[in-house]
Chains A and B, each alone.
Chain A
Amino acid sequence: MADASPEQVLKPADNVEKRVLEVIARAMDRPVAEVKPTSSLEGDLGAQSLDYLDIAFSLEREFRIQFPRADFLERASNHFGEENLVKDGVITDLGLRLLAEGMPELDRAGLRPGLRVTEVRPMFTVATFVRVTRQLLEHKANVDRTCKSCGTQMEESPSLPEFVCPNCKASLPLPPGDEVLFQDLLRVEQAARAGGGN
Chain B
Amino acid sequence: MASLAGQSALVTGASRGIGRAIAVELARDGASVVVNYRSSGAEAEDTVREIRESGGQAEAFAADVSSEPDVRRLVDFAVGRSGRIDILVCNAGVVRDQLLGAMTLADWQAVIDVNLKGVFLSIREVLPHMMAQRSGSIVMLSSIAAERGGRGHANYVASKGGVNAMMLSLAVELAPRNIRVNAVAPGVILTEMTSRIRTFADEEIKRQIPLKRFGEAREVARAVCFLASADASYVTGEILHVTGGLGC
A-side residues, CB < 8 A to B, are: 48, 50, 53-54, 57-58, 60-61, 159-160
Bound: A160/B73 CA distance, A: 9
Bound: A57/B133 CA distance, A: 12
B80, A61: Cβ atoms closer than 8 Å: no
Kindly state whether residue B150 has any CB partner on chain A within 8 Å. Answer: no
Partner of A57, one of B72, B131, B173, B176: B131
Q: Which residue of chain B has its CB nearest to the CB of A60? A: B128
Bound: A48/B173 CA distance, A: 11
A57, B76: Cβ atoms closer than 8 Å: no
Partner of A54, one of B72, B76, B80, B131: B131
B177, A159: Cβ atoms closer than 8 Å: no
Please give, as numbers and ranges, the residues of chain A lying within 8 Å of B177 by CB-CB distance. 50, 54
7 further A-B contacts with Cβ under 8 Å, apart from A57-B127, A160-B76, are: A50-B173, A50-B176, A50-B177, A58-B128, A61-B128, A61-B132, A160-B73
Please give, as numbers and ranges, the residues of chain B lying within 8 Å of A160 by CB-CB distance. 72-73, 76
A57, B128: Cβ atoms closer than 8 Å: yes
Bound: A159/B127 CA distance, A: 15
Q: What are 23 sample pairs from A and B whose C-beta atoms fall under 8 A apart? A: A48-B176, A50-B173, A50-B174, A50-B176, A50-B177, A53-B127, A53-B131, A54-B131, A54-B132, A54-B177, A57-B127, A57-B128, A57-B132, A58-B128, A58-B132, A60-B128, A61-B128, A61-B132, A159-B76, A159-B79, A160-B72, A160-B73, A160-B76
Question: Which 6 A-B residue pairs are closest in the complex by CB-CB distance?
Answer: A57-B128, A54-B131, A159-B76, A50-B176, A160-B76, A57-B131
B176, A159: Cβ atoms closer than 8 Å: no
Interface hits, B127-141 → A, CB 8 Å: 127-128, 131-132
Distance of A88 from chain B, by nearest CB (Å) = 29
Distance of B13 from chain A, by nearest CB (Å) = 23
Q: Which residue of chain B has its CB nearest to the CB of A29? A: B134
Q: Which residue of chain A has its CB nearest to the CB of B134? A: A29
B201-244 near A? 1/0 per residue, CB < 8 Å:
00000000000000000000000000000000000000000000
Please give, as numbers and ranges, the residues of chain A lying within 8 Å of B131 by CB-CB distance. 53-54, 57
Interface hits, B66-83 → A, CB 8 Å: 72-73, 76, 79-80
B53-93 near A? 1/0 per residue, CB < 8 Å:
00000000000000000001100100110000000000000
Q: Which residue of chain B has its CB nearest to the CB of A54? A: B131
Please give, as numbers and ranges, the residues of chain B lying within 8 Å of A57 by CB-CB distance. 127-128, 131-132
B80, A159: Cβ atoms closer than 8 Å: yes
Please give, as numbers and ranges, the residues of chain B lying within 8 Å of A48 by CB-CB distance. 176
